[in-house]
C-alpha cells in the first residue's frame, strides 16, 4: 500500500461491495476483509506520520482490543494475530521519540499567550486520541486547555453530551479556557466564539473543512492561521490538495458572480418571483414527521402543510397517492419484524390506490442484515404488494420528490387532497380480500385461505368454529373472533374488544 492513496482504497472497497452483493461470491467478501486490513494499516501509518507515537499507541490499543473481542472484525483479528504486526507493536511501545509537531505546537501556543494573555486559541485535529494527547501536554505547561469532541461514543472513548459542549464553549468565551482542542465538531454548526489563533495540527484535503476552520478567526479583528505539516509525509499532499481545490472553488464562485451580473431578470420583485415559482400545493403530513428535515425543506419550498395524526402514511398528496418514508436504518431494522412492516404497508395499500414507499439514505446493503434479506423484502413489497419503491439520498431529495409527486397529482392530474381515500378501481376479488383481512388478527394470507376454502364471505360468516379451524393458519382464537364478529348484536358490540 506504499504508493496507494486512501481515495483509491475507498474506491476499490465500493467496487468490491457492489460485486459481493450482486454475485454473493465468497472471494469478494474475502477481498473486502483483506482490504479492510490494508486500510487499518494505512491508518496506522498516517498516525505515525502526522500525529506521533502517542496517537499511534492509542490506536494500536483499540485495534488489539477489537481483535481479541468476540464481536471484533475479521480484519482486526487477522492483523493482531500476524507476527510481523505484533513485532511492530512491541517496537512502537518501546520507542520514546516525540513527534516534532508537539514541540512546535507548544512554542506557537506559548508565543501567542505571551503576546496576549487574553488570547483565545483553537487547535483543530482529526483524531480524538490526538486531542487527548495535546490537552495533557498543554495542561502540563499550566495552560488552561480543554478538548472539544462530538457526542458519539466510540468503544471506550465517550463523546461529550450537548450540555458539556455548551459549558466548555461558555468557559472558552469567558476566558476560563484559553485553548480549545477540537475535532471536526468545532468546524461547523456550533456557536464557537471568534479566536485570535487557529492551528491546524494536520493539513486537511477538503477545501470546505479548511475554510470552515480558518473562519473561526479574523471575524471582528485580525486573526492568525498556522498549519503544521510534517515534511515528506501525506501532510504535504493534503495541504496542496486543499489549496488547489480552494483556488478552483473561488474561480467558480467568481465565474458564477459574473454570470449573475449579466443575468436579465425576468421578475420585477420578490413577490412576483414567488408567485411564479412556488406551486400552490397542499400536503397532509403525519404529526410524527413534523420535526423531520423533510418538513423543514417542504416549508422552505413554500408548500402548505397540514399536520395531522394520520392512520396510514407519512405524507398524503392526493385522494389516491400516499407516501410512506423510511430511513435506511428504519427500513433495515423493520426487517427483523417483517409482519409489522408488511402490515403497515398493506394498510397503506388498502387505503390508497397508488401508495409509494421512499427509502431515504445511502449504503442500504452495508448494514448488519444480510443483503439477500433486504433484496427479498424489496421484491415482496414491489411484486406481492405492488407498492413501488424509490430511494433518495437525503431529506432534501425526499422533499423534492414529494413535491414532484404532489405537483403531478394536484396540478397535472387536477386531483384533490383527501384523507378519506379508498381505491376507486379495486377488483371484486380485492374487495373481498380487503373485507376479510380487516378482521382482527387476520392478514392477507389467512384471508385468502378462508376465501379459497369457503368461496364467499357469506359462507365464512355462517361457518362454525369447527369448520373454521380446518383452514390453514386458523386456530381456535381466530375462529372465535370470527364467530363473535358475525353473531354479536350491534348494540352489544360497543363494550367488546378483541
The CA-atom distances, in angstroms, between 241 and each of 203, 244, 246, 258 are 9, 5, 8, 26
- Tens-place pLDDT, residues 96-114: 888 899 999 999 999 999 9
Check residue 424 and give its pLDDT.
Answer: 46
Check residue 393 and give its pLDDT.
Answer: 92
The mean-pLDDT minimum among 179-193, 219-233, 394-408 falls in 179-193
Check residue 344 and give its pLDDT.
Answer: 84
The answer to the question of residue 385 being in a domain is yes
> Considering 38, 62, 94, which residue would you say is the last residue of a domain?
94
> Considering 379, 412, 445, which residue would you say is the last residue of a domain?
412
Instruction: Note the residue count of the chain.
Output: 498
The mean-pLDDT minimum among 125-134, 305-314, 332-341 falls in 332-341
Q: Is the pLDDT of residue 457 over 80?
A: yes
Check residue 154 and give its pLDDT.
Answer: 66
Q: What is the DSSP letter of 194?
A: P
Find the mean pLDDT for residues 48-60: 85
Q: What percent of the chain has pLDDT over 70?
A: 89
The mean-pLDDT minimum among 196-200, 265-269, 334-338 falls in 265-269
**DSSP for 209-233?**
HHHHHHTTBSSSS--EEEE---TTS
Q: Is the pLDDT of residue 423 over 50?
A: no
Residues 167 and 228 in one domain: yes
Report residue 442's pLDDT band, with 50, 70 and 90 as the boundaries: confident
Check residue 161 and give its pLDDT.
Answer: 85
**Which residues, other chains included, contact 82 with Cβ-Cβ below 8 Å and sequence gap of 6+?**
none
Q: What is the mean pLDDT of the chain?
A: 83
Check residue 290 and give its pLDDT.
Answer: 83
Check residue 396 and give its pLDDT.
Answer: 93
Residues 90 and 107 in one domain: no
First to last CA, the chain: 65
- Tens-place pLDDT, residues 263-295: 555 445 555 444 434 557 899 999 888 888 899
Report residue 406's pLDDT band, with 50, 70 and 90 as the boundaries: very high
Answer yes or no: are the C-beta atoms of 190 and 160 closer than 8 Å: no
Tell me if residue 397 falls in helix, strand or coil.
helix
pTM (2 d.p.): 0.49
Residues 407 and 441 in one domain: no
Find the mean pLDDT for residues 245-256: 81
How far is residue 307's CA from residue 286's CA, in Å, rounded to a whole number?
A: 6
Q: Do β-strands 282-286 and 315-316 pair in parallel, antiparallel, or remain unpaired? A: antiparallel
Check residue 428 and give its pLDDT.
Answer: 81
Q: Which residue has the higher pLDDT, 255 or 89?
A: 89
Residues 140 and 229 in one domain: yes
Beta bridge partners of 121: 179, 197
Q: Is the pLDDT of residue 84 over 80?
A: yes
> Considering 78, 94, 110, which residue would you say is the last residue of a domain?
94
Residue 482 structural domain: 428-495
C-alpha cell at 473: 393458519
Check residue 426 and give its pLDDT.
Answer: 60
Check residue 311 and give its pLDDT.
Answer: 83
The mean-pLDDT minimum among 95-104, 119-128, 304-313, 335-344 falls in 335-344
Check residue 276 and give its pLDDT.
Answer: 39
How far is residue 451's CA from residue 437's CA, in Å, rounded to a whole number?
A: 10
Beta bridge partners of 217: 195
Report residue 342's pLDDT band, with 50, 70 and 90 as the boundaries: confident
Q: Which residue has the higher pLDDT, 261 or 347?
A: 347
The tally of domains found in the chain comes to 4
How far is residue 3's CA from residue 319's CA, in Å, rounded to a whole number?
A: 60
How far is residue 437's CA from residue 350's CA, in Å, rounded to a whole number?
A: 10
How far is residue 338's CA from residue 331's CA, in Å, rounded to a whole number?
A: 10
Long-range contacts of 166-169 (CB under 8 A, 24+ apart): 169/193
Beta bridge partners of 225: 198
CATH for 358 = 3.40.50.10130
The answer to the question of residue 1 being in a domain is no
CATH for 12 = 1.20.1320.20
C-alpha cell at 417: 387532497
Check residue 285 and give its pLDDT.
Answer: 92
The answer to the question of residue 442 being in a domain is yes
Q: Is the pLDDT of residue 307 over 80?
A: yes
Q: Is the pLDDT of residue 368 over 70?
A: no
Residues 351 and 459 in one domain: no
Amino acid at each position: 500500500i506504499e504508493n496507494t492513496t486512501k481515495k483509491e482504497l475507498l474506491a476499490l472497497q465500493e467496487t468490491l461491495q457492489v460485486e459481493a452483493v450482486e454475485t454473493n461470491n465468497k472471494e469478494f467478501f474475502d477481498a473486502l476483509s483483506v482490504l479492510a486490513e490494508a486500510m487499518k494499516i494505512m491508518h496506522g501509518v498516517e498516525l505515525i506520520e502526522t500525529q506521533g507515537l502517542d496517537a499511534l499507541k492509542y490506536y494500536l490499543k483499540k485495534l488489539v482490543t477489537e481483535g481479541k473481542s468476540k464481536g471484533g472484525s475479521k480484519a482486526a483479528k487477522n492483523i493482531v494475530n500476524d507476527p510481523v504486526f505484533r513485532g511492530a507493536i512491541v517496537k512502537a511501545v518501546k520507542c520514546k521519540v516525540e513527534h516534532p509537531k508537539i514541540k512546535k505546537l507548544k512554542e506557537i501556543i506559548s508565543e501567542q499567550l505571551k503576546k496576549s494573555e487574553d488570547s483565545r486559541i483553537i487547535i483543530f485535529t482529526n483524531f480524538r486520541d490526538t486531542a487527548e494527547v495535546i490537552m495533557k501536554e498543554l495542561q502540563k505547561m499550566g495552560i488552561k486547555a480543554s478538548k472539544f469532541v462530538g457526542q458519539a461514543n466510540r468503544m471506550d472513548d465517550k463523546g461529550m453530551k450537548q450540555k458539556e459542549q455548551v459549558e466548555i464553549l461558555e468557559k472558552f468565551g469567558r476566558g476560563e479556557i484559553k485553548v480549545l482542542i477540537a475535532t471536526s465538531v468545532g468546524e461547523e454548526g456550533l456557536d464557537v466564539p471568534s479566536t485570535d489563533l487557529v492551528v491546524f495540527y494536520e493539513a486537511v484535503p477538503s477545501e470546505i473543512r479548511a475554510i470552515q476552520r480558518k473562519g473561526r478567526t479574523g471575524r471582528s479583528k485580525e486573526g492568525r492561521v498556522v498549519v503544521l505539516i510534517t515534511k515528506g509525509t501525506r501532510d504535504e499532499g493534503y495541504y496542496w490538495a486543499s489549496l488547489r481545490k480552494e483556488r478552483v472553488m473561488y474561480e467558480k464562485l467568481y465565474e458564477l458572480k459574473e454570470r449573475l451580473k449579466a443575468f436579465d431578470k425576468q421578475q420585477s420583485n420578490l413577490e412576483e418571483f414567488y408567485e411564479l415559482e412556488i406551486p400552490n400545493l397542499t400536503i397532509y403530513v403525519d404529526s410524527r414527521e413534523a420535526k423531520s428535515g423533510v418538513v423543514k425543506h417542504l416549508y422552505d419550498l413554500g408548500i402548505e402543510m397540514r399536520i395531522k395524526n394520520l392512520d396510514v402514511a407519512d405524507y398524503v398528496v392526493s385522494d389516491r397517492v400516499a407516501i410512506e418514508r423510511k430511513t435506511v436504518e428504519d427500513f433495515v431494522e423493520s426487517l427483523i419484524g417483517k409482519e409489522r412492516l408488511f402490515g403497515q404497508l398493506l394498510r397503506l395499500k388498502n387505503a390508497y390506490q397508488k401508495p409509494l414507499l421512499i427509502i431515504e439514505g445511502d449504503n442500504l446493503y452495508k448494514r448488519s442484515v444480510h443483503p439477500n434479506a433486504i433484496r427479498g423484502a424489496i421484491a415482496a413489497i414491489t411484486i406481492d404488494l405492488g407498492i413501488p419503491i424509490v430511494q433518495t439520498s437525503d431529506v432534501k431529495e425526499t422533499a423534492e420528490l414529494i413535491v414532484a409527486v404532489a405537483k403531478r397529482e394536484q396540478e397535472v392530474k387536477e386531483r384533490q387532497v383527501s384523507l378519506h381515500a379508498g381505491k376507486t378501481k379495486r377488483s371484486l376479488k380485492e374487495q373481498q380480500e380487503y373485507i376479510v383481512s380487516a378482521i382482527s388478527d387476520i392478514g392477507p394470507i389467512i384471508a385468502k385461505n378462508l376465501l379459497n376454502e369457503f368461496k364467499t364471505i357469506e359462507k365464512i360468516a355462517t361457518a362454525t368454529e369447527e369448520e373454521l379451524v380446518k383452514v390453514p393458519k386458523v386456530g381456535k382464537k381466530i375462529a372465535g373472533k370470527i364467530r363473535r364478529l358475525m353473531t354479536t348484536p350491534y348494540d352489544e358490540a360497543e363494550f367488546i374488544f378483541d
